[in-house]
């Protein structure tokens, strides 16, 4: 066994003559353990929320979205549709016509994104699984219906199954000059059949309607759309499928995957996670300062041992290594205990859902979501060990220069 490590291990577990040193050592170890536990638990909870929000957003956004590079609406040629349907990895295509309109219900009004969808929309989207009230119905024998976001419903105070209808206003594509501004607007009536809840940004913006209704409202042609949404075959390689779709579509069209459709959102989530990580690391650094006090007291406590080791031929580097390993063992022990405690807390939350979300009656989950990532555990362990090494190295380098030579001149 490595001699400095062996002596450091004995110093860690041995009883000191001054009880205060044991207490300070325990405080140092506990501080590192608590900081490590906090890192594991908070990062796992953040992963849980991140995974939950992504799954909710993915129920709305398709695997791939095809839009025109220049211009908004376009009429895709039949040859392009046929080639896309025959492309390897493509399961289904859905046509979308989306634009903004003023929506009024009684005395309330708001601007909403009106999303006109083709009949096979649910084969591409999982939005029907996000319905929290009513049903996903867009058409029936009595006419057209809309499915609205929860935020739109709350803001407009919409009542489902009510004879009152929402009124949608949109500018005409071509209109004659008139003193009456209302003549420049298309006006359509529609009734809400259901309410979905995904995420606040989506819930407060979107209304889903039949694509024919959207074309009438926005004055678009019978075949015009603003995007094509693509559902892929399960198990297909998305990167390769995206390349094949882009090759078929050509340079006139832009093919975006789910990350590219919500690039700002994903970057924000990643930035928030690492910002939280750095804040916790900073707190852990402060907690590791206790190691300095522990090592200072220990060097003073073991001055007789230092003199003995010097008389036996130990050089300064060997003595430095002993106390360096001592400080590192405190950090390593705290890190291991903290990881074990953090994983245990995460398991208890996953298994028993101990901590509930306040006011979660209308939300999709009742308790804080937790997802442990092996990468986060490894990064946390490496970070704690690195902090522990630096926290031990500096005081050892300084204190040994100051005290070892003094102790060496003393007689036992």
CA dist 273 and 50 (Å) reads: 9
Residues 38 and 123 in one domain: no
Q: Which residue, chain included where needed, has tokens 């990064």?
A: 379
Domain carrying residue 167: 64-257
Residues 51 and 82 in one domain: no
Q: Which of 229, 257, 285 marks a domain boundary? A: 257
Give the torsion sign (CA, 190, 224, 58, 92).
positive
Task: List the chain pLDDT tens, one digit each, 412 residues.
Answer: 577 877 777 777 776 555 666 787 888 899 999 999 999 999 999 999 999 888 888 889 999 999 999 999 999 999 999 999 999 999 999 999 999 999 999 999 999 999 999 999 999 999 999 999 999 999 998 899 999 999 999 999 999 978 899 999 999 887 555 545 567 899 999 999 999 999 889 999 999 999 999 999 999 999 999 999 999 998 889 999 999 999 999 999 999 999 999 998 899 888 998 899 999 999 888 888 788 778 877 877 777 777 777 777 777 788 788 888 888 888 899 999 999 999 999 999 999 999 988 765 556 778 899 999 999 999 999 999 998 888 888 777 776 666 665 555 554 4
Report yes or no: 148 and 101 within 8 Å, Cβ to Cβ: no
- Number of domains present in the structure of the chain: 2
Q: What is the pLDDT, as a whole number, of residue 88?
A: 95
Residues 278 and 375 in one domain: yes
Residues 328 and 386 in one domain: yes
pLDDT in tens, 22-31: 787 888 899 9
Residue 385's nearest CA partner among 316, 336, 314, 352 is 336
Residue 296's nearest CA partner among 323, 329, 319 is 323
Residues 247 and 297 in one domain: no
Residue 206's nearest CA partner among 290, 115, 101, 301 is 115
Report yes or no: 110 and 152 within 8 Å, Cβ to Cβ: yes
262 by DSSP, 3-state: which?
A: coil
**189-203 b/e with 16+ CB inside 10 Å = b?**
ebbbbbbbbbbeebb
Q: Which residue, chain included where needed, has tokens 């995974």?
A: 51
Residues 79 and 34 in one domain: no
DSSP 184: G
Half-sphere exposure of residue 164, counting CA atoms within 13 Å on the CB side?
11
Residues 20 and 114 in one domain: no
Q: Which of 222, 257, 292 marks a domain boundary? A: 257
Q: What is the pLDDT, as a whole number, of residue 19?
A: 63
Backbone angles phi, psi at 158, to 5 degrees: -75, 140
Residues 11 and 71 in one domain: no
DSSP 161: T
Residues 122 and 153 in one domain: yes
Give the torsion sign (CA, 265, 269, 270, 276).
positive
CA dist 2 and 318 (Å) reads: 11
Residues 276 and 251 in one domain: no
Q: Which distant-in-sequence residues (6+ apart) come within 8 Å of 16 by Cβ?
A: 22, 298, 301
Q: Which of 257, 278, 299 marks a domain boundary? A: 257
Residues 380 and 293 in one domain: yes
Report yes or no: 66 and 228 within 8 Å, Cβ to Cβ: yes
Residues 216 and 249 in one domain: yes
CA dist 203 and 198 (Å) reads: 6
Residue 33's nearest CA partner among 290, 336, 349, 383 is 336
Q: What is the pLDDT, as a whole number, of residue 11?
A: 74
CA dist 55 and 365 (Å) reads: 13
CA dist 12 and 14 (Å) reads: 6
pLDDT in tens, 348-406: 999 999 998 876 555 677 889 999 999 999 999 999 999 888 888 877 777 666 666 55
How far the first Cα of the chain sits from its last, in Å, is 28
**CB-based burial of residue 317 (10 Å sphere; 0-12 exposed, 13-18 middle, 19+ buried)?**
exposed
What is the full DSSP assignment across 346-383? HHHHHHH--SBPTT-TTSS-SB------HHHHHHHHHH
């Amino acid at each position: 066994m490595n001699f400095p490590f062996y002596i450091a291990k004995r110093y860690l577990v041995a009883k000191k003559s001054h009880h205060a040193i044991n207490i300070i050592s325990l405080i140092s170890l506990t501080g590192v353990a608590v900081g490590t536990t906090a890192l594991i638990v908070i990062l796992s909870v953040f992963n849980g929320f991140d995974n939950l929000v992504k799954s909710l957003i993915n129920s709305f956004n398709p695997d791939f979205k095809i839009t025109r590079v220049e211009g908004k609406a376009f009429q895709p040629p039949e040859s392009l549709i046929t080639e896309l349907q025959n492309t390897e990895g493509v399961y289904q295509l859905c046509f979308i016509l989306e634009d903004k309109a003023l929506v009024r219900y009684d005395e309330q009004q708001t601007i909403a994104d009106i999303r006109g969808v083709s009949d096979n929309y649910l084969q591409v989207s999982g939005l029907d699984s996000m319905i929290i009230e009513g049903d996903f119905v867009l058409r029936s024998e009595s006419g057209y219906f809309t499915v609205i976001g929860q935020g739109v419903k709350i803001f407009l105070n919409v009542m489902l199954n009510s004879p009152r209808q929402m009124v949608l206003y949109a500018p005409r594509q071509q209109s004659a000059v008139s003193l009456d501004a209302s003549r420049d607007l298309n006006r359509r009536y529609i009734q809400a059949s259901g309410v979905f809840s995904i995420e606040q940004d989506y819930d407060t913006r979107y209304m889903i309607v039949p694509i024919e209704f959207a074309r009438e409202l926005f004055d678009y042609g019978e075949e015009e759309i603003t995007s094509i949404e693509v559902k892929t075959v399960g198990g297909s390689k998305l990167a390769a499928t995206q390349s094949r779709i882009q090759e078929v579509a050509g340079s006139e069209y832009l093919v975006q995957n789910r990350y590219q459709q919500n690039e700002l959102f994903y970057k924000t989530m990643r930035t928030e996670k690492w910002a939280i990580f750095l804040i916790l690391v900073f707190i852990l650094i402060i907690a590791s300062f206790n190691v300095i006090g522990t090592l200072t007291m220990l060097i003073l406590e073991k001055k007789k041992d230092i003199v003995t080791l010097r008389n036996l031929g130990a050089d300064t580097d060997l003595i430095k290594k002993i106390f360096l390993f001592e400080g590192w063992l405190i950090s390593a022990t705290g890190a291991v205990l903290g990881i074990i405690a953090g994983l245990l807390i995460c398991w208890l939350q996953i298994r028993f859902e101990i901590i509930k979300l306040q006011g979660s009656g209308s939300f999709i989950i009742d308790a804080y979501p937790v997802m442990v990532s092996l990468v986060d555990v490894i990064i946390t362990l490496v970070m704690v060990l690195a902090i522990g090494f630096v926290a031990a190295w500096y005081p050892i380098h300084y204190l040994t220069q100051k005290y070892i030579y003094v102790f060496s001149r003393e007689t036992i």
